[in-house]
């Protein structure tokens, strides 16, 4: 009996410890985010038009201390930006303007849920 159990235990341990066959963890996209959101094609243009215009969140002014011109700047402030866009828990933005379309806010939310990729 020992002769059978020991090889089974050793085989099980060696197979369980093999890292090369492990597949990367799958990170599902939220149900309401069917497509991958592109920073360069969707998020950056959204912010360029609505946030980092002259006198707002650009390098020249840095309104409220937030400059939103690069991926790292936007991703590090993403939750604050989202709250401002959605008018919940932060100063509503754009300042003095109408709330952004729900579809644009949802795009930004999906980008956050997808890990604020720089794509």
Predicted TM-score of the model (pTM): 0.69
| Residue 60: per-residue pLDDT | 78
Q: Which of 71, 54, 61 is nearest to 115 (CA)?
A: 71
| Residue 94: per-residue pLDDT | 84
Distance separating alpha carbons of residues 56 and 61, to the nearest angstrom = 6
| Residue 52: per-residue pLDDT | 76
74 with 81: CB under 8 angstroms?
yes
| Residue 18: per-residue pLDDT | 35
Look-up of token digits 């933005």: 93
31 with 73: CB under 8 angstroms?
no
Helix (H, G, I), strand (E, B) or coil at 15: helix
Q: Which of 101, 65, 108, 103 is nearest to 83 (CA)?
A: 108
- pLDDT tens, N- to C-terminus, the chain (119 residues): 545 554 444 444 443 333 333 333 333 444 678 789 999 999 999 998 888 776 788 787 755 678 898 999 999 999 999 999 999 878 888 888 889 999 999 999 999 999 999 99
| Residue 74: per-residue pLDDT | 95
Distance separating alpha carbons of residues 62 and 67, to the nearest angstrom = 5
């Amino acid at each position: 009996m020992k002769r059978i159990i020991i090889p089974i235990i050793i085989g099980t341990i060696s197979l369980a410890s093999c890292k090369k066959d492990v597949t990367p963890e799958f990170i599902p996209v939220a149900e309401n985010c069917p497509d991958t959101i592109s920073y360069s094609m969707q998020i950056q243009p959204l912010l360029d038009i609505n946030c980092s215009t002259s006198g707002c969140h650009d390098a020249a002014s840095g309104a409220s201390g937030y400059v939103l011109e690069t991926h790292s700047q936007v991703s590090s402030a993403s939750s604050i930006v989202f709250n401002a866009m959605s008018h919940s828990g932060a100063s509503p933005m754009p300042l003095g303007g109408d709330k952004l379309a729900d579809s644009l806010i949802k795009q930004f939310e999906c980008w956050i849920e997808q890990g604020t990729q720089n794509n």
